Every structure is written in C-alpha cells, then in structure tokens.
C-alpha cells in the first residue's frame, strides 16, 4: 500500500517564500484537498508533488524512499495543471491517444476512446482541438488520467469550466480511482465531493512577516522544469 508524503517543505518562488514547514501524507485510497486564497501556494505545492518544482527545503517520499531525483516518480503521477494541453490541429481522440501512448497504455486509441466516453464526450472524438469549447477541452484534458494508469493524480483546479454534470462525473471518477487504491491531491475554490479527504489549508503555512531565507544555506535550489 503506497504512501506519498512531504515533510517540512518550504517553497520559494522567485525571491518570495510561499509556504514553509508544510507536512502532508496521502495513503493508498486517500485524498488531499488543497485549500487557500489566491496566491497561497496550492499550484506551487502540486508542482512540488509532481517533481516539476524543487522544494527549497524539505523532503518528499514515496514509501519512505526520497522521491526527488527518482526517475520512477513521473510514471506514478498524472499531473493536470491549469493549462489545457490540447493540440489545436489534432482531433480530441488523437490528442488523447498521444497522451495514452506516452503513459504506456497497451491500446492507446482504445483507452482514449473509453476515457472520452467516461467523461461524457465521445461525440468530440473526431473534432480538432481548436474547435472545442472550454468545457470540452477541460473534459478532454481530464480524460488523460483515465487513458493510462498512474496511482497518484495531481489536479489543479480541475472543475474550472466544467458544468455541474461534469463535476458529478469527475467526483465519480475520483471515487472509483480511490476505491481501487489510487490517491488524489487536488486544489479547488469550488465545491467538490471528496469524501474523507484530508484538508490542507495553504494559508496556515504562510511564512510570518519578516521571515527570510538564507539563499546560501542548505537549499535544494529552485530548479523549475517545464510542465
């Protein structure tokens, strides 16, 4: 039963301390709800969890083994950020098949079609990305998590642009993933049912006014990879 955890994490963006002394733990079947006002660091924490942003200090671990610099970490996660990475000239199905094949799906086109059906948008399969509505693009982007397996889903404001029916579908998909032993961490400003999720309020980890960091101390650096 995998456990993903972070201990005493400090995040620096530019020359600004975003959060400090932050701990989290998600177990198989568990969920973490990231809450807090604009700019409190929810997206930054998700990027840290995804290995796209190095914590200034602190440790991330998968089953007690450090996950930073672990080549296998990328294969364990689906990270869905703010941006819909939809190629405008490819159809929805081609876009998703590409992601499914990158994620190691045995039958990328079959997995992609099944994921579109689960997200309630099989009719967009043949539509080029540039003709999709904002909500259709969002459903397509979220379908990536179903098109190839990964135990840890990191979702940054996944409900943006979704209608009510799509939010209900997403809730069901998240519940199924967790019932199968998967883990979820998601940020949101909207209501989304995530039963039993642990709440992490990012504003509780804001540095006190006047807190400063010694950039020459034991920092890990602030290497930020492209998403």
Beta carbon nearer to ligand ATP, 44 or 95: 44
Backbone angles phi, psi at 102, to 5 degrees: -60, -35
Q: Applying CB under 6 A, which residues contact ligand ATP?
A: 13-14, 16, 18, 36, 38-44, 202
CB of 52 to ligand ATP, least distance (A): 11
Beta carbon nearer to ligand ATP, 13 or 168: 13
Residue 155's H or E segment, with its range, is: strand 152-156
Beta carbon nearer to ligand ATP, 116 or 156: 156
Beta carbon nearer to ligand ATP, 126 or 223: 223
CB of 161 to ligand ATP, least distance (A): 14
Report helix, strand or coil for 178.
helix
CB of 78 to ligand ATP, least distance (A): 18
CB of 60 to ligand ATP, least distance (A): 16
């Amino acid at each position: 039963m995998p456990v993903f955890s972070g201990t005493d994490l400090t995040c620096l963006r530019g020359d600004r301390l975003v959060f400090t002394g932050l701990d989290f733990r998600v177990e198989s079947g568990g969920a973490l709800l990231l809450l807090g006002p604009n700019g409190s660091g929810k997206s930054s924490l998700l990027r840290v969890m995804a290995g796209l942003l190095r914590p200034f200090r602190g440790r991330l671990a998968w089953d007690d083994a450090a996950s930073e610099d672990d080549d296998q970490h990328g294969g364990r996660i689906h990270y869905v950020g703010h941006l819909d990475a939809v190629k405008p000239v490819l159809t929805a199905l081609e876009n998703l098949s590409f992601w499914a094949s990158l994620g190691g799906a045995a039958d990328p086109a079959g997995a992609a079609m099944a994921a579109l059906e689960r997200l309630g948008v099989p009719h967009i399969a043949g539509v080029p990305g540039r003709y999709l509505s904002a909500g259709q693009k969002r459903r397509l982007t979220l379908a990536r998590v179903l098109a190839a397996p990964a135990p840890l889903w990191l979702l940054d404001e996944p409900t943006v642009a979704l209608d009510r029916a799509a939010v209900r579908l997403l809730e069901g998909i998240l519940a199924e993933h967790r019932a199968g032993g998967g883990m979820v961490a998601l940020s949101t400003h909207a209501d989304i049912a995530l039963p039993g999720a642990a709440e992490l309020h990012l504003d509780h980890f804001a540095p006190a006014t006047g807190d400063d960091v010694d950039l020459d101390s034991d920092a890990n650096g602030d290497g930020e990879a492209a998403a």
